[in-house]
Structure 1
């Protein structure tokens, strides 16, 4: 079959994935009432354990950096209650023969100081520099305000320490590894991109200095898990949350970062390709992401590809050695058994209940709708 390459086992560090169909991290806004995973989320991940690897939805590393404009009930990994709740999820995935990584996430400048959880932290909104992102709409706040000007973090190693503690907590929760969310205009991306980072100290300016923060985060996580259980997701094209540099700056920055990150012997680097849906403001810098940076990745680090792949194209890319595995997000929403459907040649549905994608009223039926009520194929 055209998709056979997706079903070759793949060695990822010390584990062997049963297929090369990876489930992308996808925020679903179901950690009700206050950022602690629940039984609905356990069922959601268990249904999708046929993936070679599941990457969890973004796990916030601290109460500071909490709540983005589109949703507020996202999970965290900074306290004991969250660790205990995530244990149920990881146990359910393992019982089905799957593996799951915890995606570690800090919003940086695209948080809001008046959102309830962030306000409870007693801390300001931090970013690499005091530069606000354009746009944003915090619908739960009066007047639906946009993004604020962040406070430039005095010592970025303080946030590195939060990532490290989140990795320690993820390990205690039973996750098989961790992925750094280095894309979509969040704090890792902000340090890399000159549109958000105008620092003149050792953390800004040259590509080497702007790459220092994400590299320090990766090194801290390697100390906890070992290099073969740490990955990172990056989006060199930018586009989301007011990210984007010139092509010259983009190439210089990400070629340096990918080369240095690969030297750490990571499990994988996940590249998001350019596609228009992820560039709503036109700020992105369109170029061939995987073809440009993939060859810079050296063994044992694997290359994962994400960004609008359909199974036949993904299988061709795997068979041709362009990527080692394909990462699917959208297709896993209405197709909880996506790998089984692909392998059996079953129809893949594209019918997503968009009104319930992120929005719910908090009651049981509303939380289930468009989340765990999609059927498996016969």
Structure 2
């Protein structure tokens, strides 16, 4: 099977083409990675993941809707992640850190945002529609953010996160450019109304992503990647089709010159496309067919709704260098081994404990799924 051939990814070689995509699990201890997270990642390394990408990892204190999301801005977090990377490597896999800034979908009343002592920053002072902070009184939605005066301050935070990730033993970093977070907000003309060099044209709106990638490359060399979702409407982003092609096409043409280890293209998902004002938010289109031609020198990984049979076809045909499975890794610690053995991915998901809960055993719905 083509899925089980090794692949040179940046400066490393991964043992197969089956990746585990970033999956918010909400199990850290006050933003610090802990022992149960280590168990979770090691199970999946042993279960046949050629490359693991961590859950979204915050580059600075932010008011996330996931109050137990991990960070990588603090020495204690670096120590916690180092234990995980060492264990994953010992288990025979490789691991990237997905570095993450929420931008306008933080909340000023969240404890970490209060502790940060800074406003909720975004490209422009435009709130995202929707959202619900269930752990805050009254379950408030998103607020109008403060336009970040100098975006290079956030790029510097991304670079420092990469420095910390390298110290923590990660094999590389994946810039979270999907799902309506800060990179996507800069790219999207509905979220970015700036009139300076960071807004307006596709070239200007792509500047933040490209300058951030260049800063990460200064730290990790060829072991830098980006994940994008051009057909995603989550967190109230999405442009008309031609504008989407113009914007992401420019981004990828320029990113293709940087020597990235891979780009993850997230396909359209109706389940994560919210309905706003009576219609779906995103512009549905074939993301892989539309954007992979821009990546002539950069490996493409495909994510979202990929079946094992389709994954084999994508790699065997040369359409993709590899695939990322998402939710399947939540419910199966051994996705890779099951695919190789021809076994079904048939564990029943525990939705009640998908993201954990205060006062509940964090193992529930996390490390209690059986292997084959």
Pairwise TM-score range, normalised by the shorter structure = over 0.9
- Is 1:126 the counterpart of 2:124 in the alignment? no
Question: How far did 1:135 drift?
Answer: 1.1
After superposition, give the CA deviation of every residue in 1:159-201 in whole Å (9 maximum; x if it has no partner).
Answer: 0000000000000000000000000000000000011000010
> Equivalent residue for 1:243?
237
Q: Is the 8 A contact 1:263 1:298 kept in 2?
A: no
Q: Is the 8 A contact 2:347 2:369 kept in 1?
A: no
**TM-score, length-normalised on structure 1?**
0.95
> Equivalent residue for 2:18?
21
> Equivalent residue for 1:93?
88
> Equivalent residue for 1:42?
38
Question: How far did 1:150 drift?
Answer: 0.4
Q: Superposed, which structure 2 residues align to 1:139-178 within 5 Å? A: 139-178=134-173
Name the stretch that deviates more: 132-141 or 169-178: 132-141
Question: How far did 1:350 drift?
Answer: 4.4
Question: What is the aligned counterpart of 2:71 among 57, 62, 76?
Answer: 76
Q: Is the 8 A contact 1:22 1:51 kept in 2?
A: yes
> Equivalent residue for 2:342?
345
After superposition, give the CA deviation of every residue in 1:254-274 in whole Å (9 maximum; x if it has no partner).
Answer: 100011011101000100001
Segments of 4+ moved more than 6 angstroms: none
> Equivalent residue for 1:268?
262
Aligned counterparts of 2:343 and 2:245: Cα–Cα separation in 1: 40
Aligned counterparts of 2:214 and 2:347: Cα–Cα separation in 1: 39
After superposition, give the CA deviation of every residue in 1:127-153 in whole Å (9 maximum; x if it has no partner).
Answer: 000000001111121111110000000
Q: Which runs of 5+ in 1 are unaligned?
A: none
Question: What is the aligned counterpart of 1:303 among 300, 305, 309?
Answer: 300
Q: Superposed, which structure 2 residues align to 1:274-293 within 5 Å? A: 274-281=268-275, 282-293=280-291
Aligned counterparts of 2:261 and 2:42: Cα–Cα separation in 1: 23
SS of 2:56's partner is: strand
> Equivalent residue for 1:223?
218
Q: Which runs of 5+ in 2 are unaligned?
A: none
Q: Is the 8 A contact 1:215 1:261 kept in 2?
A: yes
**TM-score, length-normalised on structure 2?**
0.97
Aligned counterparts of 1:11 and 1:362: Cα–Cα separation in 2: 43
Aligned counterparts of 1:283 and 1:347: Cα–Cα separation in 2: 33
> Equivalent residue for 1:62?
60
Q: Is the 8 A contact 1:109 1:126 kept in 2?
A: yes
Question: How far did 1:217 drift?
Answer: 0.5
SS of 2:245's partner is: helix
Question: How far did 1:373 drift?
Answer: 0.8
Alignment RMSD, CA only? 0.9
- Is 1:5 the counterpart of 2:6 in the alignment? no
Aligned counterparts of 2:63 and 2:85: Cα–Cα separation in 1: 23
Aligned counterparts of 1:249 and 1:346: Cα–Cα separation in 2: 42
Question: What is the aligned counterpart of 1:116 among 86, 111, 114?
Answer: 111
Aligned counterparts of 1:59 and 1:275: Cα–Cα separation in 2: 23
Question: How far did 1:362 drift?
Answer: 3.5
Change (3 A) 1:46 1:360: same
Question: How far did 1:5 drift?
Answer: 1.6
> Equivalent residue for 2:28?
31
Aligned counterparts of 1:291 and 1:253: Cα–Cα separation in 2: 16
